[in-house]
Amino acid sequence: MLTLLIFRLVLLSSFIISAVALGDWKSAGKYYPTVLFIMVVNLTASFLTYHHVLWNFNPDALVKTHTVLEILNSYIALPCTVFVFLSKLPSNKFYQYAFIGLWVSIFGTIEFIDKIIGGITYQHSWSWQVSIMFNFAIFSILRIHYSKPVWAWIITFIVGFIILIVFNFSSAEMK
């Protein structure tokens, strides 16, 4: 449990330090709508899947509930991620694909370590491999949202609907 706590504290600190050190603070206003987008999407997904979680964040020595970790993700980790991601996004389309691949690899590695040390467990047929595909979708949608927010919302609703079908959600399970 101590290892998990240390991992999460280092991870959370890394998100904040990365945002401070690597973020384009002069252009922060350009990224703000996409930061809000990821926060709303994550909180909505957490709310809708409350009774049918696909992954569960296990407690550590300090944080005892999945909900608290989702709040930390929604208000710290994901906004910092989006800020750095968009601040460093290359203008060349080819490099953007590679850049998205880099971020998917980073998040995949973080989640793999989290899984190994017992911080995350999967349910209802979700898996680490599905998370990799999901991360690819999320980072692609973030890129789209930055330039075409309406399209990002449409794609998000479609992806969300597909997830609800594929992972056997019923309206009775939604909070």
> 128-147 and 28-48 are packed helices; what angle lies between their axes, rounded to 10 degrees?
140
Answer yes or no: are the C-beta atoms of 56 and 28 closer than 8 Å: no
pTM of the predicted structure, to 2 decimals = 0.94
Domain range holding 37?
2-173
In terms of Cβ atoms closer than 10 Å to its own Cβ (0-12, 13-18, 19+), residue 2 is exposed
> 93-116 and 128-147 are packed helices; what angle lies between their axes, rounded to 10 degrees?
140
Q: Domain tally for the chain?
A: 1
Distance of alpha carbon 75 from alpha carbon 15, whole angstroms: 11
In the predicted model, what is the mean pLDDT of residues 6-30? 97
Question: What pLDDT score does 61 carry?
Answer: 85
| pLDDT over threshold 70, residue 77 | yes
| pLDDT over threshold 80, residue 1 | no
Q: List, for residues 121-148, the tens digit of each pLDDT value.
A: 999 999 999 999 999 999 999 999 999 9
- pLDDT-based confidence at 25, cuts 50/70/90? very high
